[in-house]
A and B are shown apart, each in its own frame.
Chain A
Amino acid sequence: MKARLPLPDVVVGKDLKEIFRQGYGRVLFPRKVAASSGEALRRLREFYGALPDGDGHNISGITYLRRLLWIKTAARHHLAAFSIVAPHTHWDKVRPIVISSDGNRYSSSARDLDPHKTYFPVSFVFSDEGPLPYEWADDSVSVDSAALKTCFAIIKKVNRAIHSQNLPLGISLNFRFKELMEERILPTIEYSDPGRPDSAAAAILPMHAFLTEYGGGDHVQVGWHAYHDAAYQLTAKETNAVRLIRESLKSLPETQKMALVWFLKSRELKASLDVADFGKSTN
């Protein structure tokens, strides 16, 4: 029997439970969603011949997805709602992965559902049948419903354009510690306390909280921002400058890199102070 597929939409627990009971896990795992982040990254390396850099610009699929997202959105801030991801799980394959919030942090695990509560999908892979959700959030995670609806519509459009390519990439909603469409830059980590059993929930933390709590610890990158350079409305000269600076910052030694970053930031500060002074003089 062909498994019923969940829609990119809010779903009631009992329905989602039934979808998994009918074998949805077999549709997702392991073909679409890898059994670990290491396996998901291995698929990326095999497909593209390289692992993504921190900014993802060296991977054509990430750049292509960014371009598609930009084409399918109406405004730049919509891009803040998405991350491009290496789709993977850490848990069993017969129950949905659900993210909850206690107000300060999120937790993520495969778990039994409350049949009466609602869940909304937050991570997707692409398929001929439409975008396939593989992670959900429960009602403790607060998002703007209109923004959520817009995101689902964009993901459906992107899926239509990209599903036939079978890319080893997915897309996630970026709601972590911010409004969906808020353009704040906030690195986050999903981290399992090494002392706890493998089946225990992982915490999702802002990077600064992770560094304070765990003092670092080994990790890999599994999500990249969704902004194509075109979204910044750069001139040709600015685009060229961005590309040259970006590449130089990757290849130069740390001391020279730090000097360039310092110089760039001081010029930015000076430019903003000049604007402030100009504002005063014209008032």
Chain B
Amino acid sequence: MIHLIGGPPRVGKTLLAERAARGIGASWISTDVIRSVIEVGQPGLTHIVWGETEGIQAHAASFFPYLDRLLWGVNSLRGPYVIEGVDFLPEQAVRLAERYPVRSVFLGHSAMTGPSSATTSGGSRGSPEPRLNNSA
């Protein structure tokens, strides 16, 4: 089973991935890793406009082939795996579930407050910080 965790930045996806992976004896990876790999070869390709619905949807659509390939690889490992990230939406999760053994949950924060900052970013923390963990 592949467990997908999606949602905006800073809502607890990584923490949930760590907990869930530990609980089921799985490894986990953030899509930040994939995005940073893509950026090495094609700078700017994964640029996200956070403040616009259309920008988020367009990014998720353009990222889908890479995510699909990741799941293809992970699925070949035959064990449980957790994948978390900002780079896909429920629509992509549903499409992936048609092809792979996938279970998904999305997180959100409907009342977050705080100082404004840049409207664009390559990742959830400004510059992508690849996260890779093999806890199994």
* Chains A and B bind each other: no
The chain A residues found within 8 Å of chain B, CB to CB, are none
The chain B residues found within 8 Å of chain A, CB to CB, are none
